[in-house]
Structure 1
């Protein structure tokens, strides 16, 4: 009896998602259906691929070897499907995109309807993480990264850059006063980031010429979390224009120490692991995203 593609997909997605339940949700199946597929696969291969306990799943040595081969088979099938579609000028297949929650919400989600109308045969998987992920481990095709890249093993395509500003709500400034000097920030409620420490060094200079490192009253991993707190008048934040342009235009957030702020821009890159020619579905998404980001990241 031969192994089926469905069984291979069940095995790979269980590993990537971390559980049978998560895999079932991602594949649109039941947990019992995924479990049966795994049992059939192990029976056909006459080996144990996964060690199961009540709390976790762990790959056996045979499972680790088979996982690499299973990924290659699935990738080959996807590429074959795409090659046929490309012949009809219709890129297709699953495209897995990862970005920080704030970038996904404010920069990517608004352009998805147009992308889906142009490329109806591409199935998008949009995932969010506010920390850097391993693209291979998370089975991700493209990740959007804001800031300087440190991993030399990835390929990157620059989409543009976004300016960061110090912002607060009019309500907060009315209640606490408008800081007139950088040193006056010491007497205000400042919010910072947990995972990107460079964002806690704000682009304003103290009297001695050094950039101002904040002592945050609260930190968060997500810029969107800090934005929501700022909109509620809870404190002063440093955030990028891509997520606050509408807030600034409407007056919900206003610049603080604008005259003293040193213009600081952060690059936005699409990163991916590929040494060979990019597949059509990845290329068309990168081209589309680059065009839209050039308009947004001003």
Structure 2
């Protein structure tokens, strides 16, 4: 037995209006359509709800009892629709965002106070993973991915780009000297990634190719770990501006081999599954982050 909302509406409208004809006019249906809906409802309930005469309709005792439940169901549906409409106007609810730890720390976290002030009814849940995650498995609304996207089954929105540079601290350069050619890097401590190997291809022109593949002297899986090592004067590193911009502005990290460095800007995308129109809480977050990333000119 599966009672439909159409049948409940037909029943309550007939009761309220006093006739099948009046109910049909109110609901924009035919009288035969309303009559069939009532018949189906009574058959599913295996009871008589209305006694029909040529002059009037009267409810049975069962009909009176069922009317209370029918109204509760219709009111609950109306309330749910109102709440959904309200959420479209005022973004609300839990929003799960996933990003690599460095991007979360250097870009997303500083934006949270302003975002919370503008959208206080959105409950942010911020998670970090340095590897690509399954959005459904991790119950994630938005994942921020840096670099070229490989998965064509998900939707993406470009939030901005961030340039890659070769950097070292003043302390390291004072102790070990400043390399003035790509070839001179072989005499220095190079900080690289354990994986993927593509991150150890530095955007440097040399006589062999446009990208210079390094063999790291010291490796780490996290860009933030490499940043901290570079700040401590351990070696030379390849990192994106989104996590080193303030270090460069403060003079804590110095760009090296600027003439040999290719302008490589990594795309920063927000990815999400989209089977239905995006919820307002997702749209407003993407708009807010995109605006502020562009302002920062990562």
Q: How many residues align?
A: 219
| Residues 77-111 of structure 1: CA deviation (Å, up to 9, x unaligned) | xx979615326x32111000000110001111001
In 2, distance between residues paired with 1:179 and 1:118?
A: 47
Partner of 1:283: 283
| Residues 31-53 of structure 1: CA deviation (Å, up to 9, x unaligned) | xxxxxxxxxxxxxxxxxxxxxxx
| Residues 113-160 of structure 1: CA deviation (Å, up to 9, x unaligned) | 011111111100000011111111111000001100000111000011
Partner of 2:90: 90
In 2, distance between residues paired with 1:171 and 1:102?
A: 23
Partner of 1:104: 104
CA shift for structure 1 position 297: 3.5
Contact 2:203 2:210 in 1 (8 A): no
Contact 1:131 1:195 in 2 (8 A): no
User: For the aligned residues, what is the CA RMSD?
Assistant: 1.6
Contact 1:160 1:293 in 2 (8 A): yes
In 2, distance between residues paired with 1:265 and 1:104?
A: 19
Structure 1 residues 81 and 266 mapped into 2: Cα distance closer, same or farther (>3 Å)? farther
Partner of 1:185: 185
In 1, distance between residues paired with 2:131 and 2:143?
A: 11
Partner of 2:255: 255
Three-state SS of the structure 2 residue aligned to 1:204 is coil
Partner of 1:143: 143
Gaps (5+ residues) in structure 2? 1-79
Please, which moves more after superposition, 214-223 or 234-243?
A: 214-223
Three-state SS of the structure 1 residue aligned to 2:203 is strand
Correspondence 1:1-298 to 2 at 5 A: 83-86=84-87, 89-298=89-298
Contact 2:172 2:235 in 1 (8 A): yes
In 2, distance between residues paired with 1:215 and 1:255?
A: 20
Structure 1 residues 242 and 80 mapped into 2: Cα distance closer, same or farther (>3 Å)? farther
Three-state SS of the structure 2 residue aligned to 1:287 is helix
Gaps (5+ residues) in structure 1? 1-78
In 2, distance between residues paired with 1:169 and 1:252?
A: 6
CA shift for structure 1 position 228: 0.5
The TM-score, its normalising length taken from structure 1, stands at: 0.71
In 1, distance between residues paired with 2:156 and 2:257?
A: 34
Three-state SS of the structure 2 residue aligned to 1:163 is strand
| Structure whose alpha-carbon radius of gyration is higher | 2
Three-state SS of the structure 2 residue aligned to 1:205 is coil
Contact 1:82 1:93 in 2 (8 A): no
